Every structure is written in structure tokens, then in C-alpha cells.
Chain A
Amino acid sequence: NAGVMQNPRHLVRRRGQEARLRCSPMKGHSHVYWYRQLPEEGLKFMVYLQKENIIDESGMPKERFSAEFPKEGPSILRIQQVVRGDSAAYFCASSPPARTNSPLHFGNGTRLTVT
């Protein structure tokens, strides 16, 4: 019973490159959430997706960041033209298609370093 799988665990990108972070939710979960943890800060909500739909992207930066959760395959968080300030740990979580009081199940995160 695999949990939430994120890859890669660590990602190094030079300024201006693209970063693609992947998240496979737990089996049976159709809701995916992306959170970011900047150095010395807490978890900040970025985006909430269901299959083929973005439900809430109120926490996403307006430029360079995008997310998708296609019908088949993992959810992808894409950061174009990365800058040093994008260096952070990015966590994905999933939950079942049920009441909003279901807990989130988190992956181990992707640590992005921009050089």
C-alpha cells in the first residue's frame, strides 16, 4: 500500500532552467495538494487539484509556476525559468474524494536547489 510518492527527492537547477516535480497520490486518492516550505518558514499552500481540474490555485505565484493532474499519470508542478528564491522543499499531499475532514497524506518532498 504505497504512500504518496514524490520524485525526484533532490533536484538541482541553474537559474533560468525549468524544474518539473512529480507526485503520485496514494491509491484511491483523487485530490492532490502542493505545499512549499521556504527556508526557516512553515508549509504554505500552493495549489489543490483533482483529476484534470485545478480547484484552488490561490497560493500559486502568478508567473512561472503551473500545475497539472492529468487523467493518467502523476501530478506535475512545473517551475519555468527558476530563480534562487525558488529554492525550497516542495511537498505533495493527497486525500480521498470524501468529506473535507479527511487528513492529508504527505509525500517526502522534493528539495529544489537553484544555483
Chain B
Amino acid sequence: ILNVEQSPQSLHVQEGDSTNFTCSFPSSNFYALHWYRWETAKSPEALFVMTLNGDEKKKGRISATLNTKEGYSYLYIKGSQPEDSATYLCALDTGRRALTFGSGTRLQVQP
């Protein structure tokens, strides 16, 4: 059983704060790492798919880094806005296309 862990479980920040979350995974099983954003009552939406050690991806105020040797990825949000409130999921692809998801980090941004 693959263990994909995310921390913290939940986070409350003020508007304008920058924040980051962690996703850890077994490095021996790595093929690709996905990040998704999941707003309440909507469907998960893809943010990034990362495949290379040292990879950095950016989308607006959100960025992610990847360390495949030690088995972790960080997601950063710069200058959080209330509309960033969502659950952020990471998922490990071992090459079988059947993603193993972490439990997510629930972010709440207070105006």
C-alpha cells in the first residue's frame, strides 16, 4: 500500500499571507506527482503534473517544487486570497496511471 501524506491537514491564514504545504511519497515508486485544487461542491482541478527531480512549476501565485530523491513536493501560494480557499490534493503516479491521492490540505483564507 502506497503512503502519500500531506501536511498540514488544515490551515487558516489571513488574506495576503503566503503559505506552503507538503506532500511526501515513497521515492522508490515515483513516476509523476500531480497537484489538484478542489473547491467545495466542485470537481478537483489539475494544477501541476511534475516528473523531474528539481522541477519547479508556476501558475499565477501558485508554485510547486519537487524532490524525487527524498520523496517530497512543496506547494506555495504567494499572497493568499479568499478565492484560494480550497482543499489541495497531491497524488502519486507510479507509472500505472492509477493515482494514489493524499488526504489533502484544507486551506481557509480569511478576508
B98 engages A58 (CB within 8 Å): yes
A4 CA to B44 CA, complexed, in Å: 11
Chain B: minimal CB distance from A51 (Å): 15
Q: Which residues of B contact A (CB under 8 A)?
A: 31-32, 34, 36, 42-46, 49, 51, 89, 91, 93, 95-104
**A contact residues around B51 at 8 Å (CB):** 101
A101 CA to B43 CA, complexed, in Å: 19
Contact flags A1-25 to B (C-beta < 8 A → 1, else 0) = 0011000000000000000000000
B44 engages A100 (CB within 8 Å): no
A105 engages B97 (CB within 8 Å): no
Known: A56-B97, A56-B98, A104-B34. 10 other contacts (CB 8 A): A33-B97, A42-B101, A42-B102, A42-B104, A45-B101, A58-B98, A91-B44, A103-B34, A106-B45, A108-B43
A21 CA to B63 CA, complexed, in Å: 35
**B contact residues around A35 at 8 Å (CB):** 101
A103 engages B103 (CB within 8 Å): no
A31 CA to B98 CA, complexed, in Å: 11
Nearest first, the 9 A-B pairs at minimum CB distance are A103-B46, A106-B43, A42-B103, A43-B101, A101-B32, A45-B98, A106-B44, A101-B49, A108-B43
Residue ID in chain B nearest A55 by CB atoms: B97
